[in-house]
Structure 1
Amino acid sequence: MDEIIRKLIRKYKTSCPFELAQALGIHIRYNDLGASTKGLYYRKLRRRFIVIHNQLSPEWQRFVCAHELGHDRLHKGISRFFLEEHSYFAPGKFELQANRFAIRLLTSGTTIEHGESIQDYCLRNGIPPEMQHFFPSLWQ
């Protein structure tokens, strides 16, 4: 995962998930996805799309874009519906991987400063507070 992120940043000279998605030819759309869905990634006729819930804060929109970009890079050709209905794989594993991808992308090139808390580090890097619980296991 770290190598994928390094290559993306080196090739496109940015860690911004919106700029990376554009450079990769992924179309970003905003729509009302309801109360429980923050975003989704799908392919249709060889075109790739990230759909972000339009009621999210800019911080969450950025995180969701990075998360869905993680699905594009890590889970090519895998449909969540297919996994839920036709296999023994737990979709939660892929969501966890996409969250880790998002956090690693958004924190790339930064380190926790001396005396800085995880909460302050997340805030400085635009990671929503709800995602901080991934930090203890993030680097495993």
Structure 2
Amino acid sequence: MLQKAEAIYHKANELVRRCGTRDTLRIASEIGIYIHQIGGFKELLGMYSYQHKERHILLNSNMDCITAQMVCGHEIGHDALHRDQAKIGMGLQEFTLFDMRNEMEYEANAFAAHLRIDSEELLKLAGHGYDVVQLSSIMETNVNLILIKLNELNRMGLQFNLPYIPCSDFLKNVTV
């Protein structure tokens, strides 16, 4: 478990280092993933597809910037960690949005958290006593992504006392 958590952490941070940004839309472009903003999605926030040696992320065009960054990071996680599974069938669709009980979805969430949230900055701010809601506001991300990041840091040996673990379907209430 520790090895997998550290592997995801290092893989995400290597992408950030290589691309020089935590902007997931820019990262996707830098690594050759085509981004498509789709207006016809009702509940689907995003989807990753790998077909004919081309990688694509479809994003709901009605999402706010913070949600789009998070969903794009999640889909990049699928590209980095689950590309072989996406080759089978129609790609990885988020019908059960960010389901924490599904290992692939949890791993993609953890990857997104590491892409979007700088560990050193998070630790510094947490050391100043900010709570998870304040941290999410300061770091311009979803509070559940902060919790996933802190949970992952705990899995790697830190000792954060987390107020709760995000619900398995925390994005189902996102309205687009």
Give the TM bin, normalised by the shorter chain.
0.7 to 0.9
Cα 1:5–1:130 change in 2 (3 A) is: closer
- Is the 2:50–2:83 Cα contact (8 Å) retained in structure 1? no
What residue is the counterpart of 1:86 in the other structure? none
Aligned letter for 2:42? Answer: G
> Which one of 60, 65, 68 corresponds to residue 67 of structure 2?
60
Q: Which moved more, 1:46-55 or 1:101-110?
A: 101-110
Percent of matched pairs sharing the same residue: 21
Cα 1:14–1:131 change in 2 (3 A) is: closer
What residue is the counterpart of 1:5 in the other structure? 12
Q: CA RMSD in A?
A: 2.4
Paired residues, what number?
A: 133
1:103 and 2:113 correspond? yes
1:137 and 2:151 correspond? yes
State TM-score, norm by structure 1: 0.82
Pairing 1:30-69 to 2, within 5 Å after superposition: 30-31=37-38, 32-35=40-43, 37-69=44-76
Structure 2: 5+ residue stretches without partners: 1-7, 91-99, 156-176
1:126 and 2:137 correspond? no
Q: Deviations over 1:52-80 (max 9, x none)?
A: 11111111011101110111111121138
Cα 1:81–1:120 change in 2 (3 A) is: farther
Cα 1:77–1:58 change in 2 (3 A) is: same
Shift of 1:106: 0.8
Aligned letter for 1:93? Answer: E
What CA distance in whole angstroms lies between the structure 1 residues aligned with 2:150 and 2:66?
Answer: 21
1:117 and 2:163 correspond? no
